[in-house]
Structure formats: C-alpha cells, structure tokens
A and B are shown apart, each in its own frame.
Chain A
Amino acid sequence: MITIKKVFGGVDVPGKKELSKDCPIEFAGIPGEVVLFLSQHTGAPSNPIVKPKDKVLRGQMIAEPQGTVSAALHAPTSGVIKAIEPRFHPVQARMADAIILQPDGEHVSDESVKPLASDLEDLTPEAIRTIARQMGLVGLGGAAFPTAVKLAPPENKPIDTYLLNGAECEPYLTADQRLMTEEAEKVIFGFRAFMKASGASRGIVCIEDNKPDSIEAMKRAIQPYSEIELAVLTSRYPRGGEKQLIQAVLGREVPPPPGLPLDVGVIVSNVGTAYAMAESILEGLPLIERIVTVTGEGVAKPSNFKALIGTPLSFLIDKAGGFNGTPRKVIMGGPMMGAALRDTNVPIVKGTSGILVFNVDQVVEEPILPCIRCGKCVDVCPMRIQPLWIAAYSERGLMEQAENARAMDCCECGACAFACPAKRPLVQWIKLAKAEITAMRRA
C-alpha cells in the first residue's frame, strides 16, 4: 500500500455521509422533460445536429464537439426534440442554449448502443481516445474537462502515473462511494482503459479512509492487476482536490497555474469518469446518465440515483421522497464548493455529483464581521497562499496586488471561508479577483 505524504492545510469537516452512504444506486426514471445544455463541459459548446420535431433515440448523438476541447452530447432517452432555446444554467448562473427533449417514455436505444469491445487488448490507445470523444466523456468530478483531451498528453510530457480519484472529500456526497462499492470491476476496467490510452505504467486508486466498503471492493477489483495500487487517505477536506491528491500520494507538487498535473507526469480522473469509460466500451453507452447523490437534512429519503443527464432537480428531489420540512437552501454539488440555486426547475449537468437540500437549521446565517487577522485561513489553505490579504485587496479593487498575492493559485476549495471565525466570504472575494485578473490579462 502507498504511504501517504504530509499535506499542508485542510480542515476537518463534518462528513454527513451516513445520510446516504448505505443507499444502493437506483435508476431515477424518465422525467417529463430533459434539458441538455450545449455547454456543460470545459471548452467550446457543442454544436447541435438535430432540430426541433426530430425524433431521437437513447444514446443518439444530438450535438457534436466543436474543436478539440469540447464534448459531444447525446440523447439520454428516446423522444422528440421540443426546442433549442436558452434556459437558466445552474452552474454558469446565466441563460445558455439547451436542447429540450420531450421523452416518449419508451426508452428505446439507438442502434449505435452496442458493445464495442470486451477486452482492452482489442483497443489501441488511439481507439480508446476516439471512443472517449465520440461518447461525450468529460471529467465527472466537477470540472467536466473533456476526457479525450486529458488522455492525449503532449509527447514531451510523458505520463508515468495515473491516479483514480475516489477520495470524495466533499461532505454529504456518496455517489463515488456507492459506485466503487457496487461497480468496482467496471470502474477498474475504465481505469485500465485510461492508463492504456495515456501510456501510464502505474495506476493508483485513491480513497479516503471513511469508505471501508469501497476500499474492500476496490482492493478485490485491483487484485489481478499488479500495475494498480491502492492509496488510503485520512479523511480531511480537500484531500480529493487534484493537486492535493498528487501531493499526498506521490509527494509531487504541480507547477502554479497554468501548470497541469501532466507537467509532473500525472493524470487524475474521477471514479465516475472511469465508470463512464467502461460503459462506453463495454455497452457502447455514451455519457447520458450519471450517479447523483440527493441528500441533506432537507430531503425525506436521501438517495443515490442513476439519473439521466438533463433531469430536473425537482424530479430527483421528488424521487427522494420530497422535501423534509421547508427547504432553505438547495445546492448543486457538495456543501464546500457547490452552488446555491434559486429554484429546483433546473436540470442536472454532466458535472453534477449531488443535490443537497438544507433546512433552516443547516444554513449558516452568521453576520460577517471584520477580519481579526487570526490567520486561520493561512493555516488551512492547501495552496499555501494567504486568503485574508487577497480577499482584502479584492474587496478594495486592488486587483494587481491580489494577483501578486497569488490569487490565481486559489483552487476555490473553501477551506479558508469554512475556518474563518468572522464568517467572511473569502472565496467569493478571491473568485472576483480571479475573474478581474483574467479580464486584465486578456486586455
């Protein structure tokens, strides 16, 4: 087993995984309307290849990638294209073009949905990358970076190690945990495809020690493969951050932005992405569904669903028994990095790992006090920058000073704001600085 190296910073967060960690994955069902944003990945939006009134089948491509860094989009179920129109995008928090699909309830698959290979021996690295691109695979850990691009590192930057990220350090979320426990073999199949495509000779499965069931299942699944090892991490937020994971498992540090893990010979992928890769190869199924944890004290029956991409939040919350009391906050994603939503009539996207509902009791409504310079944010920052100064510069519009204070290094994990006794929205100020600095650099 891998020895874990010392990692700076981080915070102890209440796990809250017990709400949903023992709930098996269930298929959520087919909603009345499916909303598929053309942009639900990093890079250029996809380009629609269907028009209103077209009949589509499950797994049929409905929008093709535009350029290299982009991802294809597929119909998650059979039905009729109702419209292509702007809808409110829950992650980008603005109106964005989406393909609206009216399901027919038949759930008939396209003829293209058939096994492509059963053995990785039959596939070249190039073939695996092509499948990843054809199937619209993106990273399912949250950033939704197109997988095919990730699997094609430049030739002068060889990859020696591939990390499979099953840390799932965000509180409440259990989607990755359930997937590893229930589908360990498929996850490892997809992981091996990643390793083959990237040329990595060593693979490491990384899991936090609060998931013994997943650790057991994955240990068994990697048994036949000597090139894959297991790393068990102590539970501490944000261990599962890409850069923190590389530091903890390999003792390497990724160069500051725009540095990437591949600069130190590493690629990191989420377990959900590996599972989607396996489904693509073994079933010919594009990325049209994913595991979503619907949880929080504000839902009646916390659950882990296999949900169609584009399913409205309200549909999934109803499937989880509806609200438990009066909801005060609905969050897409985890409580540390997720986005609060104004209503539940928005769909999940490829990067949605969870839906979290808080009642009044779980919502922090403390007044924001002046910074007392306690330095807690400096103690916990995993990027070893000083959030208090960057936030103070940003608040005063001093963006150049914020840049000099390394605002761009911020990974937006939220550990600083979590630790702040004055309850200051540090991440919000730093995000603003990052946006302004990016704009300044473009100008």
Chain B
Amino acid sequence: MDDKLLITPAPHISSVKTVRGIMLDVVISLLPATLAGIIIFGIRSLQLVLASVIAAVAAEAIYQKVAKKPVTVNDMSAVVTGLLLALTLPPDAPIWIPIIGSAFAIIVAKQIFGGLGTNFVNPALAGRAFIVAAWPLHMTQDWLNPMTHDAITGATPLAVFNNTGTTSLGVKDLLLGLRAGSLGETCIIALLAGGIYLIARDVIDWRIPVGYLGTLALGTWIFGSPNGFFQGDWLSGILLGGAVLGSIFMATDYVTSPVTPTGRFYMGVGAGIITLLIRVWGGYPEGVTYAILFMNLVTPLIDKYVVPKYYGYMHDIQARKAAAGGGTK
C-alpha cells in the first residue's frame, strides 16, 4: 500500500481554475453578443459562426495529427479563436471566408509558433488581418442592414463618422446594436454583459478595456471633430466600430498581453492611441485589428520594462542612494 503513495512537489492543493475553464468562461461571455448578432443580422450569422468554429477546431486537430503532436482541442482555445474571428466578419461574407480565416489563424498564427501559449499575436485577429489583405472587398462591402437583413453598399456608420465627426444613429440604437457592422461588434449591451461576466469571474483585467476605451474616448473628444479640438462625439467614437469587442475580448488575450496589471493598462492605452491614429488620420476606416496586433508585438517590451517593485525594494534604493552620496563627498 505504501509504495503507491504519490510524490509530487508542493503545493499539494490547487485552485479550481483551469485553462479549459477559462476558455469556457470566454465562450460563455461571448454567447450574448453571438446571439445578438444572429438576431440583428439573421441566420446567415449563425452559419458564419459555426463554419468559423468548426474550421478552427478542425484545423487545430488536423495540424496536430499531421505534426504528430498531442491533440489539444479539448482546451477549448480553438473554439474561442473561431468564435472571435466570426464576430469580426461582415455578416454577408461568403461562408469560405471564416473557414480560410480560421485555418490561417490556427495554423499560421498559433500552431506554427508552438501552439497555445507561444503565439505572439492574437490568432483570431491575425486571421482577420489575413482575410482583409487577401479579400478586401468582401471584408469592406458585405454589410447588412440590421433587422431587415438587406445588403447595403454605402459606407458604414463608422466610415461616415470618421469623415464627418457625426453619426445619424442615436445612443439607444448604438447600445442595442441596430446598425450596420461586423456581426458581433454592434450590440454593445451584450458585449458589456460578457465583459462584466469575465471581470467578475476574474478572467480578464479591467485595466485593458478601461485603458483602451478611455484613451479612445478622450482622443475622439479632442481630435474627433472636423470643426476643431475638444468637440468630438466621444461616446459614438467608442460605440461605433469594433473597439468594445476588441478591447474586452481580444486585447485581453492572456498570451499576447502583458502579465502585470500596470503593463496591461499600458497595453489598453497604446491600443487606444493606435486606433485613434488610424481612424482620425489614417485612410482605413477601422483601426482596432491593427492596433491590437501592434500592441501584441509590443507586449514583450512592456513585460521587460514594467516589472513589479519586489518586496523590500526600498532598502536597495536606500542602499544605492547612500552609496552614491558617499561617492560624491
């Protein structure tokens, strides 16, 4: 009997949190926004979501089989990637778009770099960036009108807003998501509900979305109006486009965001600034994808320089001061 005793290092108890549980929480938190997208833009949205999720999971399983690695689709991270990618798509995009996007996200952005934990950019956003570059027309024209589901060919509300500094949409419509846009980005209430769930479950750090949206709001207020400084419509600035979706669900991706609370705040602020630069001065209507991808690349730098002050650090500072003082005398 005694020889069956297990020897492992301390600690011998562990928190209930697991990687799979965290991923599951993210999926749960995205369900309201997914459901809202399906209601607002029609059953087509559901097809895109399913295609994207299935493609992501299949791509992960196939790659790992071919590469003779353990198949890890059980950790649910591929489901999260597929779901997130789908939510960033125009609701009238062809069904092969999410399939190719998810495959790119999983294989090129994630698995080739070693899989979960070692990718350096957010896979879903890398997948989206790839599709935008390869099939720009589908990604900028396949919009639908909310509720009526008919195709529109004009500029999106965000593009209009970036040019004129105003929008015809009321705050109520913006919060409910009754506007043209990507299928999961429009219903702000659903996105906030998911965000609050994730913060309450201690899955994400509030500093990233708050830093991001706060910076974007402040910048839009200062620079967002063609009539002069400090006249921008900051509320529409954060509610239009994908900033809420991106800041809560994508910029907070653990693997590609800083590990310290302060670092995470900088990540949010940085992404906010880049989004603003692209929207106000860039030629491209939306900046969220590239803002977050850029900050993903800056994350190792932030982690290098933003380091918590270790316990007892003040004694070392005092000692250094004393040594420096002694040297000048």
Contact = CB atoms under 8 A, between A and B. Distances in A.
Interface stretch (A77-85, A116-124, A217-225, A421-429): A421-429
B12 A331 contact: yes
A46 B18 CA distance: 46
A329 B311 contact: no
Number of chain A interface residues as a range: 35 or more
Given A329-B5, A372-B255, A421-B22, A254 B13 contact: no
A157 interface: no
B285 to A, nearest CB: 32
B11 A259 contact: no
Contact of B17 (A336, A370, A386, A419): A419
B81 to A, nearest CB: 13
A382 B19 contact: no
A23 interface: no
A364 B18 CA distance: 12
Q: Which of A13, A370, A406 lies at the interface centre, i.e. has the most chain B CB atoms within 10 A of its CB?
A: A370
B312 interface: yes
B13 A370 contact: no
A321 interface: no
Nearest to B72: A369
A326 B17 contact: no
A366 B7 CA distance: 14
Contacts of A255: 312, 315-316
A253 B314 contact: yes
Nearest to B7: A340
Interface string A326-339: 11111101011111
B118 interface: yes
Given A344-B2, A418-B15, A423-B18, A388 B259 contact: yes
Interface in B8-34: 8-15, 17-19, 21-22
Interface string B302-329: 0000011111111110000000000000
B12 A338 contact: yes
A427 to B, nearest CB: 6
A98 B34 CA distance: 67
B1 A419 contact: no
Contacts of B257: 373
A364 B257 CA distance: 29
Contact of A330 (B5, B114, B313, B315): B5
Contact of A11 (B7, B8, B15, B205): B15
Given A253-B311, A418-B15, A419-B15, A425 B255 contact: no
Given A366-B14, A378-B260, A418-B14, A428 B9 contact: yes
Nearest to A358: B12
A255 to B, nearest CB: 4
Nearest to A323: B1
B69 to A, nearest CB: 12
Interface in B133-150: none
Size category of the B interface is: 35 or more
Given A329-B6, A374-B22, A427 B308 contact: no
B interface, over-half SS: loop
A288 interface: no
B282 interface: no
Interface in A363-381: 363-366, 369-376, 378-379
Interface string A215-237: 00000000000000000000000
B15 A343 contact: no
A414 interface: yes
B21 to A, nearest CB: 7
A5 interface: no
B258 interface: yes
Given A421-B19, A425-B9, A327 B1 contact: yes
A375 B258 contact: yes
B254 interface: yes
Nearest to A415: B11
A424 to B, nearest CB: 10
Given A255-B312, A421-B19, A340 B254 contact: no
B35 interface: no
Nearest to A247: B311
A385 B310 contact: yes
A301 interface: no
Contacts of B315: 253, 255-256, 259, 263
B4 interface: yes
A256 B317 CA distance: 11
Contacts of A376: 17
A336 B22 contact: no
A339 B10 contact: yes
Given A343-B3, A372-B254, A409-B312, 16 more contacts: A14-B13, A254-B311, A327-B1, A328-B6, A331-B12, A335-B11, A335-B13, A343-B5, A366-B18, A370-B117, A374-B22, A383-B311, A418-B13, A421-B19, A421-B21, A428-B9
15 contacts: A256-B310, A329-B6, A330-B5, A331-B10, A335-B12, A337-B10, A342-B3, A363-B6, A369-B75, A372-B116, A386-B307, A406-B310, A417-B11, A418-B14, A423-B18
By Cβ-Cβ distance, the 3 closest A-B pairs, closest first, are A414-B11, A370-B117, A375-B259
